[in-house]
Amino acid sequence: MTLLFAVLGRVARSTVRVETDLMEPDMWLFVTHEINQTLRREGLELPPPGRKPPGWHHWRRLRDDHLSTDEGIATLQRLHLPRAVALAREVGLLDPNGPSSLTHPSHLRAIYGDGTIVRPMYRPPKKAEVSADDGTKVTKFVHPVTGELVDDPGRRYDADVALHHGHAGPALGHGYVAWHTRAPGPYGRVMLHMGHIDHPGGEAGAAVDLLRDIYREAGAGVQVVIYDGAFRGVHIDQVMRRYGWLTISKQPTYSNDELATASIVRGPDGRRVPSIPLGIATHTVGGTECHHTLAAINGAVAQIDLDDTGDPVIVATPARTSVKRARSGGGTYRFNLGYRIHCPLGDFDTWLNPHAKTEGDPRPEALRAFPEGDADTLRLRGLRSDAESVHSHYKRTLIVDRAMSLGWRRGLIDYYLFALYNNALAEEAWRAAQRRENNVRVLRRTPG
């Protein structure tokens, strides 16, 4: 009930308002009834709710003394994820026996995520580093009025914010990553798992770590993971190997340095693009071996040949035929991607391994099961924009776009409150749709 109080506070953006609403005798009677139902349904041996609704001070106690500790957050995450996966399954998502394949994954077996920065509640004080008498560096605060260096900023501020560098430039605040899955239709989103980005630049690593928990809970129910360009080759390879999932993520924009060291080919349109060699595909025609040079360009496979001036050119872009996945004794997964190679002497199939062979191998980034422009990529990648909607919806429950509480732990709890609200809507939307269907069935059976 105390969590529910906080969820309503998040939605109404005022806990005073929630306190007042819950005091309404009819409202409290209704909530009491719902709580009793829940206690029965869950088989919880707990006393029934009292005659008085909870207030802000109850929530603050629970949050500050219990939830906003490492242990409290771990408990919240551990309790939330299995319920969220169960809800996802109920609404037809993440079904391990669902009708789709690794070659053409279904949107019902996709999860998608994004990172965001929430600005701190208070503008951070200006700081300066000074050398103490013994030569050590000491951080002092700049007094906002006099400009003097002082030991105490003289007001509340968030000590654990960090400067994150996102697409929109540097932002000071708390970074969070969230993973979701989504049924078609309004309110179809189920928020699965959320976490804190503990250092600038740590977004993708935090996102991959959260996937470990989702893997434990949803496992084979997931086939594909959709993220933005923050996923580089190392993350894509980890997701494939550890969890056996494929990734859809934007190709990075290569820096001039990266382009300078890459070999360049001319595309069919004459544009010069970086290419990463994938080796030679060989087949035997009439007793003679015939060789085809393959390279990865923009995530896709290309057949390369030399033109009459000796420059490499793309002669064909083989289509992906199928995706194979095997599991090793050690529990890690290995993928093989099938491609149809074009040859005037007869087309043939070849298999390519998308994993890194050595550390820093560009292959997982260069060779994508779902490159940009691929039909499956185009069909699925739109889901990811919903992850951005989550952040903007969440931030609308904040006041003036700033965190509503101090410190990343309380901020993450606020985010979880939003997730509870979101998932309650998803559950209710599903139940309402079931009721409607049921009514239609009853009406059809009723004569006249």
What is the number of other CB atoms lying within 10 angstroms of the CB of residue 86?
12
What number of residues does the chain have? 448
Task: List CB contacts of 153: < 8 A, sequence separation 6 or more.
Answer: 125, 141
| Residue nearest to Zn ion as judged by C-beta position | 343
Backbone angles phi, psi at 273, to 5 degrees: -130, 150
CB of 291 to Zn ion, least distance (A): 7
Task: List CB contacts of 245: < 8 A, sequence separation 6 or more.
Answer: 211, 215, 222, 223, 224, 225, 239
C-alpha distances out from residue 419 to 41, 79, 90, 159, 392, Å: 22, 13, 17, 26, 13
SS3 130: strand
Cβ pair 256, 264 in contact under 8 A: no
Cβ pair 149, 128 in contact under 8 A: yes
Binding residues vs Zn ion (CB under 5 A): 290, 343
Give the torsion through C-alpha atoms of 145, 149, 154, 155, to 10 deg: 80
Of 288 and 446, the one with the shorter C-beta distance to Zn ion is 288
Of 149 and 343, the one with the shorter C-beta distance to Zn ion is 343
CB of 292 to Zn ion, least distance (A): 6
Q: What residues does 165 pair with on adjacent strands?
A: 170
CB of 266 to Zn ion, least distance (A): 22
Of 281 and 380, the one with the shorter C-beta distance to Zn ion is 281
Sign of CA dihedral 59, 61, 63, 64: positive
DSSP, res 65? I
In degrees, to the nearest 5, what angle opens at C-alpha 288 toward C-alphas 287 and 290?
Answer: 135
What is the number of other CB atoms lying within 10 angstroms of the CB of residue 51?
7
Of 343 and 433, the one with the shorter C-beta distance to Zn ion is 343
Of 170 and 279, the one with the shorter C-beta distance to Zn ion is 279
Of 290 and 424, the one with the shorter C-beta distance to Zn ion is 290
CB of 253 to Zn ion, least distance (A): 34
Of 136 and 288, the one with the shorter C-beta distance to Zn ion is 288
CB of 290 to Zn ion, least distance (A): 3
CB of 287 to Zn ion, least distance (A): 13
Of 273 and 290, the one with the shorter C-beta distance to Zn ion is 290
CB of 282 to Zn ion, least distance (A): 8
CB of 339 to Zn ion, least distance (A): 13
CB of 344 to Zn ion, least distance (A): 7
CB of 338 to Zn ion, least distance (A): 17
Residue 105, Cβ density class (10 Å: 0-12 exposed, 13-18 middle, ≥19 buried): buried
Of 342 and 402, the one with the shorter C-beta distance to Zn ion is 342
Of 218 and 301, the one with the shorter C-beta distance to Zn ion is 301
Helix residue ranges per DSSP H, 24-124: 25-42, 56-61, 70-90
DSSP string, 273-306: EEEEEEEEEEEEETTEEEEEEEEEETBEEEEEEE
